[in-house]
Structure 1
Amino acid sequence: MSNFLEQFIDDIKSNVPGYIAVTVTEVSTGVCYASNSDKKDFDPETASAYNLEVVKAKKNAIEALGLKSKVQDIIITLDGQIHIIDVSENGEYFIYLAVDSTKANLGMTRALLKKYKKDVVSQL
């Protein structure tokens, strides 16, 4: 794994309250560049593969509706968890982040993700 991806994961793990898992995945191929989970029973690469289908479906919906927009992020709230799929500005990759909603604040989590993804954006 590249140093900037290792640093990104370390920053997320250390600074995002309620951290569960994170991945960085390429949209066109589904290749997961980096992944990590603090829970043994949570496979972030499997989650990322399914979330890739969510991103593709949303892109298809936008195209079918004739909208001139791009997906920025998709937020999925579950009982006890928040999942954020943050799509890069160029649409080539996404960051998937799962947090424990009893320990995390959505606004703060999004702000921290934005802060730490800057190095990833510049390197990929």
Structure 2
Amino acid sequence: MSNMDLALKEMMAIDGAVGAAVVDYGSGMALGVQGGSKALDLQVAAAGNTEVMRSKMRTIEQLGLKDEIEDILITLGAQYHIIRPVTGRKGKGLFLYLALDRGRANLALARHHMKGIEENLEI
């Protein structure tokens, strides 16, 4: 099993996970996905969240902030969506995406798990 497959499996093991992806934000393409449904097309989510990621990175640059994105949280009525850039040298240009069922997920614990998964990911 590749490191990316393992990362996807670990993300889906987080309580409340409904879909996970590893995304290249240069192209907007999902390199790997797991989960999802008719209501959650992970390929569409990957492309759309690429725009969120790019926009936030541009804003940080325009503001002259000397900081990096730890994660981006999008709160919906029924779901949480977490976008976490991969910071390791071998994962530059990638982000992890996780959609959670809001009624079953522990957001703080999910963010903690995502940090560990991101730190161990090598592509």
Q: After TM superposition, is the score higher than 0.5?
A: yes
Asked if 1:12 is matched to 2:6, the reply is no
Equivalent position amino acid for 1:11 in 2 = E
Amino acid corresponding to residue 3 of structure 1 in structure 2: S
Partner of 2:66: 68
Q: Alignment partner for residue 43 of structure 1, among 29, 41, 44? A: 41
Alignment RMSD? 1.6
Q: 8 Å contact 2:79–2:100 — kept in the other structure?
A: yes
- The 3-state SS of whatever aligns with 1:84 is strand
Q: Runs of 5+ in structure 2 lacking a partner?
A: none
Structure 2 distance, partners of 1:118, 1:71, is 14
Q: CA deviation at 1:118?
A: 3.2
- Residue deviations 1:59-110, cap 9 Å, x none? 1111111111121210010001000000122651100100001000111001
84-93 or 55-64, larger mean C-alpha shift = 84-93
Aligned residues of 1:37 and 1:43 also touching (Cα < 8 A):
no
Partners of 2:2 and 2:16 lie apart in 1 by 24
Name the amino acid aligned to 1:53. E
Count of aligned positions: 120
Does structure 1 conserve the Cα–Cα contact (< 8 Å) formed by 2:29 and 2:46? no
Residues of 1 paired with 2:95 and 2:106: CA distance? Answer: 21
- After superposition, residues 1-124 of structure 1 pair within 5 angstroms as 3-13=2-12, 15-89=13-87, 91-120=92-121, 123-124=122-123
SS of structure 2 residue aligned to 1:69:
coil
Q: Decide whether aligned partners of structure 1 residues 38 and 62 sit closer, same or farther in structure 2, where only a CA change above 3 A counts.
A: closer
Alpha-carbon separation, structure 1, partners of 2:58 and 2:8: 30
- Alignment check: 8 A CA contact 2:20 2:36 kept: no
> What per-residue deviation string (whole Å, max 9, x for no partner) do you get for residues 26-72 of structure 1?
12222321012242431111101000000100011111111111212
Identity of matched residues, %: 30
